[in-house]
Amino acid sequence: MRKLLKILRYKRHIIDPILLTVLFVIGGIVLIGLTLQDSANFWYSFHLMFVFGFAIIAGNHRLFSHNSWPAPSWFKKYISLLSTFALHGPVVAWVAVHRQHHHHSDTDKDPHSPIYKGRLWVQFMSYNYTPDLRYVLDLYKDKWLRGLFDYYWVINATLFFVLFYINPLYIGIWLGGSFLAQMNAFAVNSLAHNSPWWIFPTSERITKDASRNVPLLALIDGGEGWHLNHHRAPWKWYFGEKWWQFDLTGVQIFATLLVVNPSYLLDLYRKRKQNVSTN
């Protein structure tokens, strides 16, 4: 087993992109097939998309990539396991790619720049890059996250067999939910940078990169469409800057903090009150 893991780890930069892309394509085909069979199946996958979306956006992105909100370690374990099931790649690999994106936005070193790679490639082939693990040395030291990286395929194969044993239909719903969540995530990469005129009709240029706020995208992808705001202030867990820029994931993070770390919110409230009274 150890020897197998060693080989798997060595070849991961080849295995992961191929398997993830294949599963993404299978997920799309299975979702169409199951929906034609019974439209209720689509809605099951649609609901699962929100669960996986929360794990990816609130977890992989805002928590692990940017450390923007303080979750207790048990919650980090829970949300990283959930994101493992979402089939977007291991947390550390996801974060490595995303941090590289922020470091080199819209240059030839950006792993998913629509300017250099093309919008269609970014939307459908986003797994075809090798994560540079130098960006995640902090996370790779974490035993739990390293375990999720090493045993990524073992964990998902286990889920596959468990679902198969309970009801094979659940495998289709799982892959369908993962496909929808990935389409959403890739849409941010492909449409919120260098956005075409039909999705972003003005030529607002505030950051040095080509990130844009795309209101329609923000509505359907849990607030990630406020992408220009995010590139301007990646340390914030709420992406809306104006009152009308609603950020669903920001609200979900707030609700989560109320349960898992209320003292942080209380501190935030006290500091804000103090600032108001001193001004």
Least Å distance between CB 182 and Zn ion? 16
CB 224 within 8 A of CB 249: yes
In whole angstroms, give the CA distance from residue 74 to residue 42.
Answer: 32
Q: How far apart are the first and last CA of the chain?
A: 63
Least Å distance between CB 33 and Zn ion? 33
Q: What is the DSSP letter of 261?
A: -
Q: Of 146-185, which residues contact Zn ion (CB under 5 A)? A: none
In this structure, which amino acid lies at residue 200?
F
In whole angstroms, give the CA distance from residue 122 to residue 116.
Answer: 10
Q: What is the DSSP letter of 52?
A: H
Site string for Zn ion, 209-228 (x = CB under 5 A): --x-----------------
Q: How far is CA 235 from the centre of its chain?
A: 16
Nearer to Zn ion, 111 or 172 (CB): 111
Q: Which stretch binds Zn ion (CB under 5 A): 40-48, 77-85, 179-187, 208-216?
A: 208-216
Nearer to Zn ion, 174 or 239 (CB): 239
* Residue 198 β-bridge partners: none
Least Å distance between CB 207 and Zn ion? 10
Please choose, from the candidates 49, 199, 186, the residue with its C-alpha nearest in 3D space to the C-alpha of residue 122.
186
Q: Which stretch binds Zn ion (CB under 5 A): 80-88, 171-179, 203-211, 214-222?
A: 203-211
Nearer to Zn ion, 182 or 211 (CB): 211
Nearer to Zn ion, 156 or 207 (CB): 207
Identify the three-state secondary structure at position 110.
coil
In whole angstroms, give the CA distance from residue 157 to residue 240.
Answer: 38
Nearer to Zn ion, 45 or 100 (CB): 100
Site string for Zn ion, 46-85 (x = CB under 5 A): ----------------------------------------
And the tokens for 19? 């398997």
In whole angstroms, give the CA distance from residue 134 to residue 130.
Answer: 12
Q: Whose CB is nearest to Zn ion?
A: 211
Give the H/E segment covering residue 178: helix 169-191
Nearer to Zn ion, 126 or 211 (CB): 211
Nearer to Zn ion, 45 or 60 (CB): 60
Least Å distance between CB 76 and Zn ion? 17
Q: Which stretch binds Zn ion (CB under 5 A): 42-50, 127-135, 136-144, 205-213?
A: 205-213
Which residues contribute to the site for Zn ion (CB under 5 A)?
211
